Chain A
Amino acid sequence: MILFWVALLALTTLLYVLLDGFDLGVGILFGLTNDEGVRRKMLAAISPVWDGNETWLVFTGTILWGAFPRVYATLLSAFYLPIILMLGALILRGVAFEFRYKSLGSRWIWDLGFSGGSLIATFVQGTAVGALAKGLPMVDGHYVGGSFGWLSPFACLCGAGLCFGYALLGAGWLVLKCEGYLRDRAYALLRPLTVGVFVFLAVAFVYALALHLRIMDRWLERPCLLVFPAVGLAASIVLARGIMGRYDRLPFFTTAVIFLSAFGTLAVSFWPFMIPFAITIDQAASPPSSLWFMFWGEGLFVMPLVLTYTAGVYRVFGGKLVAGGYDEH
């Protein structure tokens, strides 16, 4: 039963990263243009799905609490300030979607909230992953780092890296959904973003080696890990091909595969720890009575229902944006 909930948690986390990743990415790119027409189209490309995407964060949070309360308690309290910052950023970003169309004089405030909120939320998420990979200051399974124990140059590097990553996903999504000028712009952005992501990955790898991070030993202990960079590399070749040949579907889905391989790398490196080298999955898990209680209702029935519904929404809103369609203001 523990494995079931680990798998489900991995699934909701991955779905959150991929789905909210692209709309946060579009939010980041939103700040790069001043053109009102382009901005409207960018919003239209994500507005039917963005808060459904964000729901996966809530699912992840509550599954974490119910199934792995020690990790929920430790992570959220260790990352106190960044989490609060992320929640505030997500709220501002969320209301900006529509509030910007209401206010005539203060639209710039909501626009700032939208792009700034997207950037901050992304940066916080990347920083958290970086801090976990680097290793939180933990003694006997308890966090001892104080308000800023998570903060390090490496963590910030990962925060910046994720901004490039989500922006790449976002640009891929725009190519997928848009035509004309915006599609051209997104293609133009894809190249530097791809380069940025790979520079980040290389720097992070070398930096991690130089820091003698314990997690890097996993590459020697578990050679099977090499599968993931191989998959990622293959995906990036296809991505480059897609950008050159302007195959609209390729950039988004290949970037998703790159994210998948990064996610796989981290998951296999962490295993069997949830908070590396401090709390294992088994130590964190709720008692069986809790896990089974969750399984019979939400695991068995509600989760498949939610997945089906999500797939349905993406079908309804699939394809290129149509001018004057459901998504135009």
Chain B
Amino acid sequence: MDLTALFLSRLQFAFTVSFHIIFPSFTIGLAAWLAVLEGLHLATARPVYRRLFDFWLKIFGVAFGLGVVSGIVMGFEFGTNWSRLSESTGPIQGPLLSYETFTAFALEAAFFGVLIFGRPRVSPALYFFSTLMVALGTTFSAFWIMVNNSWMQAPVGFELQNGVFVPTDWVAIVFSPVVWVRFPHMLIAAYLTGAFCVAATGAWYQLRNSCVAEARAMLRMGLFLAALLVPVQLFFGHLNGDYVHERQPAKFAAIEARWHDEQPAAEVLIAIPDAAAEANRFELKIPYLGSLIATMRLDSKEVGLDDFPKSDRPPVAIPFFTFRIMVGCGLLMMAIAWLGSWLQLKERMDRQRLLLWATFLSFPLPFVATLTGWFTAEVGRQPWTVYGLQRTADAVTPNLAVGAALTSLIFFGAIYLVIFSFGTLYIYRLLRAGPSMPEPAQPTNSKRPLALAGAIATEGGR
């Protein structure tokens, strides 16, 4: 394949945004988990909740810092690599993302310091309030990002004037129905990420027979929450499918690897899509199920990719496979969460070492599901950045030199590799050390997340 500035810019954006999303999807869930722990500690005064809170706060700090630095890059990349997009959609995307910066930063900056330094200085109620505000801040951040991305998926509330998207109806943009199925989908994904990381940590300790009380609490709370949330997530996933079916038929056909119109439509479970032949190899499919999933009827006609000119079709293989990986992860998570919760209720989980191992090893599942879900949404939107209106090829910075784009891609790749491997190492060390680790006597030296991330990492590294 020829290296073009367009291709390299897409690769760079995909790489930096994928790296970035790992951390917010973790911290949004953790922030909520911290608020729950603090609330439980206030309500029950059981010391185990307090120990868990202090423990997870440190991990939250490291992940939060990494999310912040990788997020700053995103804010500038729109302008550097996608200048035509940022110019034409700036009047809509710019205000949305500036709201993200202002609301999320204002809340997080103000109350994060209280979480770190405020315990001895503020009342328990105010401290609890601060944990809620930090959780709210991360949620706001996710909200504005989802409003922005949903607008790119299903643009509404604007008028095109001389190639510029002029907003005419902010209510339609912010309260678009697409936002309200996609934002919950992302939020629950983040909660599931938190729940599985907590449960996996509990399973790890239980397998090692350390931190018994904490391990029990983490396993219980993580698995119960996941058992409740996975079905809700599947439901919102289904609603997401509905909006794609209705507004992005080419993406829907690509996800289903449906090359030709079918009535009634079958559901391809697994296959190897062959774009050249416009057909699937090694196909395994179930008749009628495709129509049933799409419309809840057995006889509906479903459109195939050949309804669209080749220049308007997304790549098929990536959305097809990433979607199935996402769903597979979801079903695995449901199996682990339900089985684990049931055994927890029977008080038999601690004897089921196989299930403990499965729970321990399950922590990558929500991350993989989140990433592949985003791959499905974003690759499936191609060849458009603003669906149906602006092509990705027309969004890239004109005259961006291949050499410049290649340089920046390699540069970011190298820096991220170094920074994030250290960050992950520190999180791993913190997790390995566990909650019973003695508290550092001296306070850390900063009110803000980045400095804190390092400070925490030191403690863990000792």
User: Which A residues contact B (CB, under 8 angstroms)?
Assistant: 44, 47-48, 50-52, 54-55, 57-59, 61-63, 65-67, 69-70, 72-77, 79-81, 83-85, 87-88, 90-92, 94-95, 97-99, 101-102, 142, 144, 146-147, 286-287, 289-290, 293-294, 297-298, 302-303, 305-306, 309, 313, 316-317, 326-329
Name B16's closest neighbour in chain A (CB-CB).
Answer: A87
**Separation in Å of the B65 CB from the closest CB of chain A?**
8
A90 and B72: CB pair below 8 A?
yes
* Alpha-carbon separation in the docked complex, A101 to B96 (Å): 38
* Alpha-carbon separation in the docked complex, A99 to B92 (Å): 38
B403 and A77: CB pair below 8 A?
no
Which of A55, A66, A293 contacts B90, CB < 8 Å? A66
* Alpha-carbon separation in the docked complex, A55 to B72 (Å): 9
* Alpha-carbon separation in the docked complex, A57 to B75 (Å): 10
Q: List residues 303-341 of chain B with CB under 8 A from any CB of chain A.
A: none
Residues of A within 8 A of B422 (CB): 95, 99, 102
* Alpha-carbon separation in the docked complex, A44 to B445 (Å): 8
The answer to whether the Cβ of B87 comes within 8 Å of any Cβ in the partner chain is yes
Residues of B within 8 A of A297 (CB): 99, 102-103
Knowing A69-B94, A72-B94, A81-B407, the reply to whether A298 touches B102 (Cβ < 8 A) is: yes
* Alpha-carbon separation in the docked complex, A313 to B134 (Å): 17
* Alpha-carbon separation in the docked complex, A221 to B419 (Å): 51
The answer to whether the Cβ of B109 comes within 8 Å of any Cβ in the partner chain is yes
The answer to whether the Cβ of B387 comes within 8 Å of any Cβ in the partner chain is no
Knowing A72-B90, A298-B99, the reply to whether A97 touches B72 (Cβ < 8 A) is: no
A77 and B83: CB pair below 8 A?
yes
A77 and B446: CB pair below 8 A?
no
Residues of A within 8 A of B161 (CB): 287
Other 5 A-B pairs with CB < 8 A, given A293-B95, A306-B105: A66-B90, A66-B97, A69-B89, A95-B419, A101-B455
A58 and B75: CB pair below 8 A?
yes
* Alpha-carbon separation in the docked complex, A303 to B453 (Å): 26
Residues of B within 8 A of A87 (CB): 72-73, 76
**Main secondary structure on A side of the interface with B:** helix
Name A313's closest neighbour in chain B (CB-CB).
Answer: B447
A287 and B102: CB pair below 8 A?
no
Q: List residues 34-52 of chain B with CB under 8 A from any CB of chain A.
A: none
User: Which B residues contact A (CB, under 8 angstroms)?
Assistant: 68-69, 72-73, 75-76, 78-81, 83-84, 86-87, 89-103, 105-106, 109-110, 113, 161, 164, 166-168, 170, 397-401, 403-404, 407-408, 411-412, 415, 419, 422, 426, 443, 445-455, 457-458, 461
**Separation in Å of the B429 CB from the closest CB of chain A?**
10
Provide a sorted-by-A list of 13 A–B residue pairs whose CB atoms are within 8 angstroms.
Answer: A48-B445, A48-B451, A65-B78, A65-B90, A69-B89, A73-B83, A75-B79, A85-B411, A95-B450, A147-B403, A286-B95, A293-B167, A306-B102
Residues of A within 8 A of B106 (CB): 302, 305-306, 309
Name B88's closest neighbour in chain A (CB-CB).
Answer: A69
**Separation in Å of the B221 CB from the closest CB of chain A?**
30
**Separation in Å of the A169 CB from the closest CB of chain B?**
20
Residues of B within 8 A of A317 (CB): 447
B449 and A62: CB pair below 8 A?
no
B457 and A80: CB pair below 8 A?
no
Name B158's closest neighbour in chain A (CB-CB).
Answer: A289
B445 and A327: CB pair below 8 A?
yes
* Alpha-carbon separation in the docked complex, A158 to B73 (Å): 25
**Separation in Å of the A292 CB from the closest CB of chain B?**
9
B457 and A65: CB pair below 8 A?
no
**Separation in Å of the A275 CB from the closest CB of chain B?**
13
B454 and A97: CB pair below 8 A?
yes
* Alpha-carbon separation in the docked complex, A316 to B117 (Å): 12
A70 and B446: CB pair below 8 A?
no
Knowing A76-B80, A80-B400, the reply to whether A47 touches B95 (Cβ < 8 A) is: no
**Separation in Å of the B264 CB from the closest CB of chain A?**
46
Which of A72, A95, A147, A326 contacts B79, CB < 8 Å? A72
Name A59's closest neighbour in chain B (CB-CB).
Answer: B101
A293 and B408: CB pair below 8 A?
no
A80 and B397: CB pair below 8 A?
yes
* Alpha-carbon separation in the docked complex, A126 to B161 (Å): 36
B400 and A77: CB pair below 8 A?
yes
Interface centre among B81, B89, B168, B450 (most CB of A within 10 A): B450
* Alpha-carbon separation in the docked complex, A235 to B242 (Å): 65
Residues of A within 8 A of B102 (CB): 59, 62, 297-298, 302-303, 306
A80 and B80: CB pair below 8 A?
yes
**Separation in Å of the B147 CB from the closest CB of chain A?**
12
* Alpha-carbon separation in the docked complex, A107 to B447 (Å): 23
**Separation in Å of the A223 CB from the closest CB of chain B?**
36
B109 and A55: CB pair below 8 A?
yes
A76 and B79: CB pair below 8 A?
yes
